[in-house]
Amino acid sequence: MLLARRLARPLREMSIAAHELATGRRDIRVAATGPTEVAEVGDALNRLATALVTSEQRQREFLLSVSHELRTPLTAIRGFAEALADGITPPDEVPGTGQVVLAEALRLDRLVRDLLDLARLGADDFHVDPATVDMTGIVGAAARVWERRCSAEGVPLRVELPDGPVVAVTDAARCRQILDGLAENALRVVPAGAPIVFALRKEGEHAVIEVRDAGPGLTAEDCSVAFERSVLYERYRGIRPVSTGLGLALVAGLTARLGGQAEAGTAPEGGAAFTIRLPTAG
Ligand SMILES: Nc1ncnc2c1ncn2[C@@H]1O[C@H](COP(=O)(O)OP(=O)(O)O)[C@@H](O)[C@H]1O
Ligand SMILES: [Mg+2]
């Protein structure tokens, strides 16, 4: 009887607390008392409540930063469109105005697409299309496209491919999306003349893709938060050119969906090195 009561009271308290948490209250904490196992449940419940607060806080901050990012191009589009509608744009400035509006619309489009992809990554129906592919083909195809974009900015693109094929069962289009996201970041920060490197090699059961650059690089602290959405973006906005702040979060999310891991570090070239490790076909 005594034991039953010692167990029942804290358990009932926890049950009430869990219900309160479920209805949205976040200031609930239980006393972690009673027999060890029961106290552990209380502890876990308290940790859950704290984790919920942190996660909800992050969501709010994210929404705020996204709204801000949506507003900036919208304000520009609206201003230019109003000037056009009012007929106060001199005729010779019309094409330039059109170009600004177009560029801002493309930025919005990009932001919305990244947001959708990120949201879908968290859902179960995210679409990956695995097939047996040779990764040298994927990296080679990406390199051909990026060579052109890089050389237009005076940036040499080096490609390091292994002699033989690197066969993996993976989604080629998603791999490409990862590579493109990393290459885009690198090209945005490297000065003309400094190289970008696409490297592929096989390490045991893994295909390892690297995108390295000779740009300003990332600190060790940067690297530890590199894949958290918006964090580096907020840190470097105004210091380095930035885009939507979602690219690296997408890179990490896509990599995880493909069964791999993404890592940020320092390149021998002096800038940042991003390493994507994907499982191979064995
Ligand atoms: N290769 C790189 N070298 C230096 N800084 C980088 C590199 N890649 C990313 N960053 C920094 O990390 C930030 C976040 O990257 P990302 O998530 O792709 O967002 P975005 O490219 O939209 O700004 C960038 O804005 C940039 O400041
Ligand atoms: Mg990016």
pLDDT at 118 over 80: yes
Do residues 3 and 11 lie in contact, with contact meaning Cβ atoms separated by under 8 Å?
no
Interstrand relation of 196-203 and 157-160 (parallel, antiparallel or unpaired) = parallel
Measure the CA–CA gap between 256 and 31, rounded to whole angstroms.
Answer: 38
65 Cβ below 6 A of ligand 1: no
Where does a domain end: 95, 126, 157? 126
Segment 49-72, tens digit of pLDDT: 999 998 898 888 888 878 888 888
What's residue 151's pLDDT? 96
Where does a domain end: 126, 156, 186? 126
Sort 215 into a burial class: Cβ within 10 Å, 0-12 / 13-18 / 19+.
buried
246 CA → ligand 1 middle, Å: 9
Segment 11-21, tens digit of pLDDT: 999 999 999 99
115 Cβ below 6 A of ligand 1: no
Ligand 1 pocket test, candidate residues 68, 218, 232, 237, most atoms within 8 A of CB: 232
Q: Does residue 178 sit in the same domain as residue 263?
A: yes
In this structure, the dihedral spanned by the alpha carbons of residues 48, 49, 50 and 55, taken in order and rounded to 10 degrees, is 80
245 CA → ligand 2 middle, Å: 6
Q: What is the CATH number of the domain that holds 64?
A: 1.10.287.130
45 CA → ligand 2 middle, Å: 38
Residues 6 or more apart in contact with residue 97 via CB below 8 angstroms: 80, 83, 84, 89
Segment 241-277, tens digit of pLDDT: 888 788 999 999 999 999 999 999 999 999 999 999 9
Q: Which helix (H) or strand (E) holds 168?
A: strand 167-170
Measure the CA–CA gap between 213 and 197, rounded to whole angstroms.
Answer: 6
18 CA → ligand 1 middle, Å: 40
For the whole prediction, is pTM greater than 0.95? no
Residues 6 or more apart in contact with residue 179 via CB below 8 angstroms: 138, 139, 142, 198, 209, 211
Measure the CA–CA gap between 71 and 211, rounded to whole angstroms.
Answer: 32
Residue with tokens 């893709």: 209
Where does a domain end: 81, 109, 126? 126
Q: What is the CATH number of the domain that holds 173?
A: 3.30.565.10
Q: Phi and psi at residue 105, in whole multiples of 5°?
A: -65, -40
pLDDT band at 282 (very low <50, low <70, confident <90, very high): low
Closest protein CA for atom 16 of ligand 1: 247
Residue-number span of the structural domain to which 203 is assigned: 131-279
Segment 181-204, tens digit of pLDDT: 999 999 999 999 999 999 999 999
Ligand 1 pocket test, candidate residues 185, 254, 266, most atoms within 8 A of CB: 185
Residue with tokens 């590199």: 226
pLDDT at 137 over 70: yes
DSSP at 115: H
Q: Does residue 100 sit in the same domain as residue 143?
A: no
252 Cβ below 6 A of ligand 1: no
Q: Does residue 142 sit in the same domain as residue 246?
A: yes
**Of 211 and 282, more confident:** 211
